Structure 1
């Protein structure tokens, strides 16, 4: 990216952020996510989303449903080529944030959920949850789990294997199994993803 273009984008950012705030206020109940795509040719953008390739510098607001935006939102976006209103999200940001609060980092959730209290391989999910965040781009709740905090024998038992198996199960297999356990506890789109929790030896 040229220096003039970099300076132009930096100068433009405060106004784009202000426009996003106005759009959010105008579409409070339909807002699902928002952000600024900021990429240069050949760059892959984002750590857990589809890549944005090409020369992109766009502020966007994502709305639930396919209906048109409100007149207020349309007026805010009008006249700005670098501001977009997108449609088709399945869950509003408010719904995702409320689900995050209810889930409360998995406190009170013990896995496997069908295990009785006292089962030696029953473990507290909150011990392994590194965080829970709203993913604006994927329109879901991302439950970040650090599988290192799940004891090896508990992990194997959760997968229905011999708890004394050698090594550790594959991370993606364990995260997928934890997601299955949470299906009826989280009532919005969600994914269990790898996270990093400090303090593990």
Structure 2
């Protein structure tokens, strides 16, 4: 062991012997990250299930929550951990502290984690990405109507640079805001352009030490004022806004996205390429499409499938040519943006 914990911290339990505690991990810089997860034990392998929306890696990915749930192998420091095989509870030791019990299946918080940086995977435990956790603590529960885990409050308070009391107050508002937003979506369904929850820059707080502002918002197409019922809902809730002026409704944008069909049947001019001369179907260059509900536009991610053969055009000019081709075909606001993607040359049409 790298140190001898104080005797009054050591429990009459065996030191943990999880497989992943013995796997080497190359040195990596530590990241000050806090995330919620649920430890899971399978044989001698300890996993942690983490919801992506709790981590900066996936928070803004736009994927649905069920696709953001990730399972990692939790690598604990050898000799620092005790484990009760009867109660399935874990204790993590430091030089003069002990965290626990952390129950398998209970909410836990891990901080100072290194990984899954570098794509390291466990050879012993299912090939899942490895997360090195020198510090794992249980999540206490905050009693009350919504019963939030204390870790969520601490993480939110840290991220937004606000006191924990204010963090708890905001989190307690989320179920109320969700109901109010759903009511507005029903009242204004013909005009809804998008909705979401945003946080302003914590450095731009309205009051000292208050951090950024949390706002649930609903965007409506057109400049007409919302209905009286919607205005009353907004007036009755803090942290709730309705924003008019969106160029199109979400339904119109999503219809345009379906009709665009990833650029199938749309061909780029032959003179874009010199070697070999050919027509390129736009579908070969489209990596993805996405409706940006906040900006009110259809976004098209483009990669250049023939960089070596393309004539000496700048990337901006390449995008300009695509916009020129699409302008008469798409009747909603759209933008073309660079996508980091690659399609094999055998997909090109001669």
Q: Which interval holds the TM-score relative to the shorter structure? A: 0.7 to 0.9
- Taking the TM superposition and a 5 Å limit, the aligned residue runs for 1:127-138 are 127-138=284-295
Change (3 A) 1:10 1:132: same
Q: Which has the higher helix share?
A: 1
User: Residue in 2 aligned with 1:98?
Assistant: 255
SS in 1 for 2:202: coil
User: Residue in 2 aligned with 1:31?
Assistant: 192
Unaligned runs of 5+ in 2: 1-160, 205-210, 346-350
Q: Distance in 1 between matches of 2:249 and 2:220?
A: 7
Q: Distance in 2 between matches of 1:199 and 1:151?
A: 12
Normalised TM-score (structure 1): 0.75
Unaligned runs of 5+ in 1: 44-53, 157-164
Q: Distance in 2 between matches of 1:108 and 1:9?
A: 49
Cα distance, 1:151 vs structure 2: 4.3
Residues 128 and 150, structure 1, Cα contact 8 Å, conserved in 2: no
Q: Per-residue CA shift, 1:124-152, capped at 9, x if unaligned? A: 111121111111121110011122x2444
Cα distance, 1:100 vs structure 2: 0.2
Candidates 188, 191, 197, aligned match of 2:341: 197
Q: Per-residue CA shift, 1:151-173, capped at 9, x if unaligned? A: 443x42xxxxxxxx4xxx43233
Candidates 166, 175, 187, aligned match of 2:331: 187
Q: Distance in 2 between matches of 1:107 and 1:55?
A: 43
Cα distance, 1:3 vs structure 2: 4.8
Residues 113 and 181, structure 1, Cα contact 8 Å, conserved in 2: no
SS in 2 for 1:42: helix
Normalised TM-score (structure 2): 0.45
SS in 2 for 1:35: strand
Candidates 175, 179, 193, aligned match of 2:319: 175
SS in 1 for 2:198: strand
Q: Which has the higher strand share?
A: 2
Residues 134 and 141, structure 1, Cα contact 8 Å, conserved in 2: yes
Specify which structure has the bigger relative contact order, considering alpha-carbon pairs within 8 angstroms and separated by 6 or more residues.
1
